[in-house]
Structure formats: C-alpha cells, structure tokens
Amino acid sequence: MNICSEYVKEISAELGADLCGIAPIDRFTEAPKGFHPRDVLPACESVIVLASRFLKSTLFAASTIPYTDIRNEMTRKMDKLAIDLSYALETGNVYAVPINSIGPCEWDAATNKSRGIISLKHAAVLAGLGKIGKNTLLINDRYGNMIWLSAVLVSAKLEPDPMAEYESCIPNCRICLESCPVQALDGISMDQRKCWDYAFGTHNGGEWRIKCFTCRQVCPNRFGIGNRSK
C-alpha cells in the first residue's frame, strides 16, 4: 500500500489529533547540525506534525496543579498518538519513526541548550501549523498557543501543506517579554536556565509541578489569532 497525505490526515484524526501538517524534507535546510530529521531517520522524506488542543480553562485556575496534570496527560497522549500513527504507516511499507512530545532531549554544545532530537515547534512551522511568537511558543490561528505537539518521520514523499501566512504576534506587542517574572525572553529566544529554574520544581513543600506559564497566559493570541475570549 502506498500512503498519501489524505490517508495520513484521516488516520491522524481518527487517532485523536486536532491538527496534522506535513513538511517535505527540503524545508529543513536551517535545522541545527545534529538535529535535522535525517540525523534521526536517514531515509526521511517527509515530517508529519501532530497537534492537539490544550485545556484552556487551566489558565484560569488559582493553582498550577491542574495545568501540570493536563500537560502530563497531553504529553502521554501525543507520544501515543505518534507511536500509533507510526505503526499504522509502517504497514504501508515505509519507515515511520515517532518523535516524542517533550523528551528525552539532547544537549546542543554549539548553543548550550537542551533540544529535542528535532524541534517540534519549528517542524510545525514548516508543516503549516503556525508561527513562533516572541514568547518562543508556536501560535496557531485556530488554537493559539494552547496546543501540544508530536511528530512522525517517514520515508515516503507526501504532499506538503503550505506554510502559514499569518503573523504570530500583534505588531509591537511586548506583553510576554515584560511579564516574564525572570526576564528570560528577548523576543527571539529564551534563556532556558532562567526559565526552568523558576518555572519547574516543588512549591510550598509540595510535589514537583509547573509553577509558571505566564508567557502562555498573557499572550493576546493565546486562544487563536485575533481571538482574545475564553
């Protein structure tokens, strides 16, 4: 069986993805050395990026535990979605390698940053699922920054999706930069150490949790381009 983009999107939706975008391998020319899709799967011809919406109501909770719980569940969901899609596509006589949602990661000595084996948010941009904002989050026109990602690398040449033409941020907006409690954002990148030391860990003697997601909360496009309602 020869797989096609239509089949990939149909199966992805059946498995629970809210969005599915496809990028051809030739769009990844600017991927950092060691973090190109072909560094993971040498036969890769296409990258399938999967996205599911994150529960918006968690942004309005007084505790960060609900957000942490949803994040953990979304991570499991996206990992399973990529794995299940890979199994389905492998029956079509192609290689299909899942890319997990948040880790394990690799250390990039060139930039002193921790990276996924490919960057999911950059792959999502190349697959037409959004643009990266000044908060370094992927922003989709329909779901804003409230989406979680995973991907599948395949050895088949699939029909690609066009890249998004909308802008991720409102012109001259600096809300996320000025709201970050530790000033970890500069509008282009994020200081991982500043962010992670502040945002992750125990709180008031309790267990590990995500303690800060201000950059996600304050974004005017958090729920979609031009959609500022709950």
How much is the pLDDT for 204? 86
78 & 40 share domain: yes
How buried is residue 214: exposed, middle or buried, by Cβ count under 10 Å (0-12/13-18/19+)? Answer: middle
**% the chain with pLDDT above 90:** 87
Average pLDDT over residues 142-158: 97
SS3 104: coil
Residue 164 lies in a domain: no
Lowest mean pLDDT among 75-79, 105-109, 178-182: 105-109
SS3 53: strand
The verdict on whether omega for the bond into residue 98 sits within 30 degrees of 0, i.e. cis, is no
Q: Residues 99, 105, 106, CA angle at the centre, nearest 5°?
A: 115
Indicate whether 63 pLDDT > 70: yes
pLDDT confidence band for 109 (50 / 70 / 90) = confident
Distance, first Cα to last Cα, the chain: 44
109 & 192 share domain: no
123 & 192 share domain: no
pLDDT in tens, 15-61: 999 999 999 999 999 999 999 999 999 999 999 999 999 999 999 99
Number of domains in the chain: 2
Segments forming the whole domain that contains residue 67: 5-154
Where do runs of H (alpha helix) occur along the chain? 5-15, 37-40, 65-90, 120-126, 175-179, 192-199, 214-217
Tell me the C-alpha distance between 54 and 71, whole Å. 8
207 & 138 share domain: no
Pair of tokens at residue 45: 């011809």
pLDDT confidence band for 113 (50 / 70 / 90) = confident
Record the pTM. Answer: 0.95
Tell me the C-alpha distance between 129 and 142, whole Å. 10
How much is the pLDDT for 1? 60
Lowest mean pLDDT among 40-44, 80-84, 107-111, 135-139: 107-111
57 & 90 share domain: yes
